[in-house]
Amino acid sequence: MKLKSSSSITLLLFISLIFFLPSVSSQACKKTCGNQPIQYPFGSGPGCGDPRFQKYVTCNQEKLTLTTHTGSYPVDTIDYNNQALYIQDPSMSTCSATQPSKGFGLDWNAPFTFLDDNVFALLDCSTSSSPLYKSKNHSNGTNVLLCENEGAPVCSLLYSCSPISTLNLPISTCCVYTPVDLGPAFEMDLQKLQCNSYAAIYSFNGQESNPASWEYGVALKYKFSVKNDYPIDCNVCERSNGACGYTGAYNAFVCNCVNGVNTTTDCYFTASWNNSLKLLPWQIGTWLIYWAWFLVWIFF
């Protein structure tokens, strides 16, 4: 038997440590933002969650916010089971308040679409110059709405709300606009449409005739990927009490563990590391194989 040179052994140990030991990042990804739980694909800060979502949904001062080119909007809640995000537009009108608004839009490349349950009611629209009224009724020559006919009940109920009814607006100045009509740019430009405000409803709460009980806000659908499969690596990471994140120029996957420790797999190893190397059963086998190979390399 002949031992390897000390320099070779030192180099091997150094490489082994780099390969097996986790790295430490500058921060640990939080599991909550205020009182809202945060799960993949969202994250509490840079390096957390999915990089495609990080620029749109952020946690600032313990408040979860969606940002698009039209403004910043508080996130009410996230339904992770149904992959839905519910937001509020502070400039939106409801049955309890009405105010001017510029509208709402999504960035064309954002990983969101509108849920089919959304109903947008455009309020106080110009019946003389709005493009919504540019179609002529050939029987009498008057302008008619280019909105869906079923919008009338929603408009009449909204216009019966006290804040809106005091404006004495005719029902003809209301128009129901659904997300599928916003076009590929997902843009609702009220200035261009010459409407002063809008109300967004994502649920009638089983009380279609009572606008005071409706759920006001915008509901968005998100997808994990083209196939919309939950990443396997992320699932394993979260099961080990880690948070899914990314790092480097190519946004490589990392599992962010407690105290800001990053691994490329999961947090089981760091948990045992923090408990004086009390390895889990599967880890013991891994280490025995590694050290057996190491001893063979030295002595043979």
Q: Yes or no: say if 198 and 132 are a contact pair by the CB < 8 Å rule.
A: no
pLDDT at 130: 81
Same domain, 250 and 132: no
Please give the average per-residue pLDDT across 171-183, as a whole number.
Answer: 76
Same domain, 113 and 89: yes
Annotate 137-150 with DSSP letters as a single string: -TTT--EE--S-TT
Token pair, residue 294, equals 């190491």
Fill in the DSSP letter of residue 249: T
Same domain, 172 and 199: yes
Whole-angstrom Cα distance, residue 169 to residue 245?
A: 51
Better pLDDT: 175 or 292: 175
Q: Yes or no: say if 175 and 122 are a contact pair by the CB < 8 Å rule.
A: yes
Whether 227 maps to a domain, the answer reads: no
Taking only the tens place, the pLDDT of each residue in 145-167 is 556 544 568 999 999 999 999 98
Please give the average per-residue pLDDT across 219-241, as a whole number.
Answer: 91
Same domain, 88 and 140: yes
Sign of the torsion formed by the C-alpha atoms of 80, 224, 267 and 239: positive
Taking only the tens place, the pLDDT of each residue in 117-142 is 889 999 999 888 888 766 655 566 55
Whether 292 maps to a domain, the answer reads: yes
pLDDT at 37: 94
Same domain, 76 and 33: no
Better pLDDT: 188 or 215: 215
Which of 222, 240, 272 is the endpoint of a domain?
A: 222
Q: Yes or no: say if 79 and 86 are a contact pair by the CB < 8 Å rule.
A: yes
pLDDT at 16: 47
Q: Yes or no: say if 19 and 265 are a contact pair by the CB < 8 Å rule.
A: no
Whole-angstrom Cα distance, residue 199 to residue 125?
A: 13
**Mean residue pLDDT across the chain:** 80
Same domain, 201 and 297: no
For the whole model, what pTM was predicted? 0.76
Please give the average per-residue pLDDT across 22-46, as a whole number.
Answer: 83
Q: How confident is the model at residue 289 (pLDDT cuts 50, 70, 90)?
A: low
Same domain, 110 and 178: yes
Q: How confident is the model at residue 261 (pLDDT cuts 50, 70, 90)?
A: confident
Whole-angstrom Cα distance, residue 53 to residue 222?
A: 9
Instruction: Output the CA angle 44-225-30, nearest 5 degrees.
Output: 15
Better pLDDT: 129 or 274: 129
Whether 266 maps to a domain, the answer reads: yes
pLDDT at 294: 56
Same domain, 159 and 209: yes
The domain containing residue 297 runs over which residues?
1-67+232-300
Whether 212 maps to a domain, the answer reads: yes
Which of 166, 189, 222 is the endpoint of a domain?
A: 222
Cα–Cα separations (whole angstroms), residue 95 to 34, 103, 156, 202: 28, 17, 12, 14
Same domain, 29 and 145: no
Whether 109 maps to a domain, the answer reads: yes
Whole-angstrom Cα distance, residue 229 to residue 223?
A: 8
Which of 175, 198, 222 is the endpoint of a domain?
A: 222
Same domain, 260 and 282: yes
Q: How confident is the model at residue 21 (pLDDT cuts 50, 70, 90)?
A: very low
Whole-angstrom Cα distance, residue 179 to residue 177?
A: 7
Same domain, 99 and 218: yes
Please give the average per-residue pLDDT across 199-216, as a whole number.
Answer: 94
Whole-angstrom Cα distance, residue 284 to residue 269?
A: 11
Whole-angstrom Cα distance, residue 102 to residue 190?
A: 5
Give the chain's domain count: 2
Same domain, 35 and 168: no
Any idea which of 32-41, 146-155, 203-212 has the lowest mean pLDDT?
146-155
Any idea which of 84-88, 92-96, 128-132 has the lowest mean pLDDT?
128-132
Please give the average per-residue pLDDT across 210-224, as a whole number.
Answer: 95
Any idea which of 77-91, 176-190, 238-252 has the lowest mean pLDDT?
176-190
